[in-house]
Amino acid sequence: MKSIIKSFSEHGTFVQPDSLTYILSKDDPEEFTSFITKNLKEYPLVLTIDQIKNLELSLSTKEKKPAEPIVENKELQTKMLSNIYGGEIPKPIPEDNDLEYDDPDKEDQIDIPFEETQNLDTPKLIEIKKVKDWKPKSKDYDSEIKILKDVTGNSTSEGTSKDFTKLFLNRYDVLRRLLRSQRRELANAIPINKIKKSGMKEIQLVGIIKEVRTTKNGHKLIEIEDETDTAACIALKNNRDLFQMASEIILDEIVGIKGQLSRNGDLIVVQNIVFPDVSIQNSRHKSENPVYAAFLSDIHIGSKQFLEKEWQGFIKWINGDVGNSRQRDVAGKIKYLVIPGDVVDGIGIYPNQESELAITDVYRQYEVLAEQFQMIPDYISIIMQPGNHDAVRPAEPQPTFEKEIQNLFSSNDMTFVGNPCYFSLNDVEVLSYHGQSLLDFATNIQHLKYNEPVEIMKTMLKKHHLAPTYGGYTPLAPEHYDYMVIDKVPDIFVTGHVHLATIGEYRGVTLINASSWQAQTTYQKMLNFIPDSGKLPIVDLKTTNVTMMDFSNKF
């Protein structure tokens, strides 16, 4: 079974449990797997049973027609991805006597009555030793934190349709201004209702994407709207670069289009698609003082899968108790800990979550987290943001934690911020976003993969938006101001959510996906998704150099 899952995961494809059962029901599941992988036209994010059956059907007919294209079922993908990142327990696959199906970890999965396991796994406090010669350099510097943009305390949303109109108008205004001021190709953009009367052949316009679809002949038809009207645009498939750009367009984003008006004036033949993007000459801020910021996401306290041993390694290291001299030197320069959400596992995030929880009271989860934070030196400033597992409203932008929770952390120097949030650390500007929409991007843009978050973050920067599409995986609140717009290019852009530890760079912006402190969940295990947990990306704010500490097996 594992080899079958692996064959698909190598292509970035998850196998739906029903699909797996179907494959295993075949006389030769391995051969059937290679039949599927050979004949799939493109690899979907989630392989459904309908896709397999369609493939079988299309290839069994004697007509020489190509296999049906894979129609991605967004709703299903959303559900699957929510399961992967929420950790929903799948229905067990029927028992089979074949040894190949035996799970080597079966003993670990014996169902112990819930009450008996409750609270057995609460992380312990460890003794912090006084370490001789330990003189952390960051102690000599004061914290310099400025909040630059945050919904906390500024929420206006009442959830009415008027609110949504305001949200989209604000998004359009901000990004149109940005596109027109920074992109010469759009300097003469005109409102859509002026196109016909203008008599111009070369058209430039800026609008919000209303629809994008592939025509029967394989071209991309893009419907774009502004406050005056809607225009139909076509990107022809024989222009490969342009077609590739058109394939990256998603609903509700703001783009510029340059094209030629067709003879009858009903269609614009696209010559160029202009995304806001980041300037190549993007200059970055640096700290005067030699201090570091560490990024620590998705702690998931309260989960049975919380990585206590790795966490203790981190606590010992940050107190100068472990590591070689270079590693201890790095520890001593940490001035900031940035936490981009899912600080606890929460409760009721997905069905049957209780059976995966070591701590079943959400308030207690935050108490335990606060107890653990008491072991973090008090000269370190912690900037903490909520994620989709935290006890705040689920719709983004999410305002920060309520006072009752904040008060638990009085032993630390805490700054509580919303999700997303722009802030600066010693003048270095950070955009911190938990990252739920990473999955929307992976679902909607063919070449982006859930397990390559840095590539998705580059796309977010190109589009200057964290979550454009309404009605996808990411719930959006209709604020009058669009907090999800990237109106300013940050120096550091950090996300979490997908539990991977990745570092990258895009036109001078440092990109980080900040790992997790939760081991592989039951569902992730079944789908062969391996999180990259127990790691700590660190940025030297003076030089902008990035490094990664690995606690997953060193301590």
Binding-site ranges for Fe ion (CB under 5 A): 298, 342
Indicate the residue among 235 and 301 with the shorter CB distance to Fe ion. Answer: 301
CA-to-CA separations, 128 to 316, 372, 381, in angstroms, rounded: 7, 11, 19
Closest to Fe ion by CB, 277 or 342? 342
Question: Closest approach of Cβ 243 to Fe ion, in Å?
Answer: 35
Minimum distance of Fe ion from residue 341's CB (angstroms): 7
Residue 227 CB partners (closer than 8 Å, separation 6+) = 169, 172, 191
Nearer to Fe ion, 80 or 224 (CB): 80
Please report how close the Cβ of residue 383 comes to Fe ion at its closest, in angstroms: 17
Give which of 249, 269, 247 is closest to 258, Cα–Cα. Answer: 269
Measured between alpha carbons, how far is 268 from 251 in angstroms, rounded to an integer?
A: 19
Specify the residue, 144 or 298, whose C-beta has the smaller distance to Fe ion: 298
Residue 526 Cβ vs Fe ion, minimum distance, rounded to whole Å: 17
Nearer to Fe ion, 390 or 482 (CB): 390
Report the alpha-carbon distance of residue 302 to residue 520 in Å, rounded.
15
For residue 245, give the 3-state DSSP assignment: helix
> Angle formed by the axes of helices 17-24 and 2-9, to 10°?
120
Q: Token digits for 356?
A: 């995966």
Q: Which is nearer to Fe ion, 33 or 513 (CB)?
A: 513
* CA atoms of 448 and 460, how far apart (whole Å): 11
What kind and span of H or E run contains 438?
Answer: helix 438-444
Q: Which amino acid is at 322?
A: V
Give the CA diameter of the chain.
82
Task: Specify the residue, 375 or 438, whose C-beta has the smaller distance to Fe ion.
Answer: 438
| Contact (CB, 8 A) for 331 and 318 | yes
Rounded to a whole number of angstroms, the minimum distance from the CB of residue 221 to Fe ion is 37
Q: Are 319 and 375 in contact (CB under 8 A)?
A: yes
User: Quick one: how far is CA 192 from the chain centroid?
Assistant: 34
Judged by beta carbon, residue 68 or residue 354, the one nearer Fe ion is 354
Question: Phi/psi at 356 (nearest 5 deg)?
Answer: -100, 0
Strand partners, 384: 339, 416
- Backbone φ, ψ for residue 149 (5° rounding): -155, 125
Between 342 and 482, whose beta carbon lies closer to Fe ion? 342
Give the shortest CB-521-to-Fe ion separation in angstroms: 10
Contact 235, 301 (CB under 8 A): no
Q: Which two tokens stand for residue 54?
A: 């369609």
- The CB-of-388 to Fe ion minimum distance in angstroms stands at 7
**What is the smallest separation between the CB atom of 289 and Fe ion, expressed in angstroms?**
32
Q: How far is the CB of 534 from Fe ion (least distance, A)?
A: 14
